[in-house]
Structure formats: structure tokens, C-alpha cells
């Protein structure tokens, strides 16, 4: 996620909201994924949704993070 933000010219503080999808029906798995994700967010606390799903799009994929970020551009 951090690499994608950087590639788009955004920073972590530009994140407005996130959605974390975890391929598991076990609450402990969701909590483990959430703990790692929250640690990566540092002090930035954007509104977030955590969901357990049965399957994700790629074979072996366990986690998907959807991030909405906005940056401002200032013209001269």
C-alpha cells in the first residue's frame, strides 16, 4: 500500500479511508491481519472497514487492501 501511494504521488497522511478484506471466517485471522495493517499506518488513523470474505481474486491471496487517498495540487 505504501508503495502504491508513493507511486501515485501520495503519502500515508493523504489516506482518507481503507477497507481490509481477509480471506477467512476466523475472527483471530482478521485480528492478526488488522494488527499488522494498523502498525503500518503509524499514527494516521483513517476510517477503516475490516471484512472477512470466503475468497479473494487470486489463487493463494489472503488479504486485499483498498485505499482511498486524496492529494491537493496547487497551481502557480
We report the CATH number of the domain holding residue 31 as: 3.30.1330.40
Domain assignment present for 75: no
Phi, psi (rounded to 5 degrees) for 47: -55, 135
Domain assignment present for 26: yes
pLDDT in tens, 31-72: 999 999 999 999 999 999 999 999 999 999 999 999 999 987
Domain count, the chain: 1
Domain assignment present for 76: no
Residue-number span of the structural domain to which 54 is assigned: 2-69
Domain assignment present for 36: yes
Distance CA 31, CA 8 (A): 29
pLDDT in tens, 14-27: 999 999 999 999 99
pLDDT bin (cut points 50, 70, 90) of residue 73 is: low
Distance CA 67, CA 69 (A): 6
Amino acid at each position: 500500500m505504501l508503495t502504491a501511494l508513493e507511486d501515485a504521488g501520495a503519502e500515508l497522511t493523504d489516506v482518507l479511508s481503507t477497507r481490509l478484506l481477509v480471506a477467512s471466517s476466523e475472527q483471530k485471522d482478521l485480528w492478526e491481519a488488522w494488527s499488522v495493517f494498523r502498525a503500518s499506518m503509524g499514527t494516521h488513523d483513517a476510517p477503516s472497514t475490516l471484512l472477512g470474505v470466503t475468497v479473494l481474486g487470486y489463487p493463494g491471496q489472503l488479504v486485499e487492501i483498498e485505499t482511498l487517498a486524496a492529494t491537493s495540487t496547487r497551481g502557480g
